[in-house]
Structure 1
Amino acid sequence: MNDQPNNPLHGVTLARMVEDLSDYYGWEELGRLIPVRCFTFEPSVSSSLKFLRKTPWAREKVEALYVHTLRLTR
């Protein structure tokens, strides 16, 4: 197993990131921070995961916001 002690995303699933971000910011604010339809129109974790798994640039934005949010809350 490859240990990655300096990688804050190691072991964190995309579903967990979306759930944590939506809990922390709320869907409305999350949609403002990352303006994609899955966050702004009838948002849900399920629809977000479908979109993010197919859209690398949006997933990168979610990952970056998640890392930024981790730093704010520590």
Structure 2
Amino acid sequence: MESQPNNLLHGVNLATIVEKLHDHYGWEGLADRININCFKSNPSVKSSLKFLRRTPWAREKVERLYLKTDFR
């Protein structure tokens, strides 16, 4: 496996990102920050992951929010 010292998301999987963001903001807070239906209409971690894995632009927005969020 190749080292990725400049990749802040290296070793963090998408499920962890969605779960942490959901715990921190809740579905309504996520929908306010990122305008995508998987956070608005009957949201769940499973359905969000399915959508984000198929939709690169949405995944990028979620990853950017994760990097900007302070989880302390």
Q: TM-score normalised to the size of structure 1? A: 0.89
Identity of aligned residues (%): 64
3-state SS of the aligned residue for 1:26?
helix
2:60 corresponds in structure 1 to 60
Answer yes or no: is 1:16 the counterpart of 2:23.
Answer: no
**RMSD between superposed Cα atoms in Å:** 1.1
Q: Any runs of at least 4 consecutive aligned residues in structure 1 with deviations exceeding 3 A, and if so which?
A: none
Cα distance between partner residues in 2 of 1:28 and 1:58: 16
Cα deviations by residue, 1:14-73 (Å, 9 ceiling, x for unpaired): 11100000001111000110111110111100000110011110000001001111xx33
Q: CA deviation at 1:5?
A: 2.5
Higher helix share goes to which structure? 1
User: 1:54 is aligned with what amino acid?
Assistant: R
Matches within 5 A, 1:2-41: 2-41=2-41
Cα distance between partner residues in 1 of 2:32 and 2:22: 12
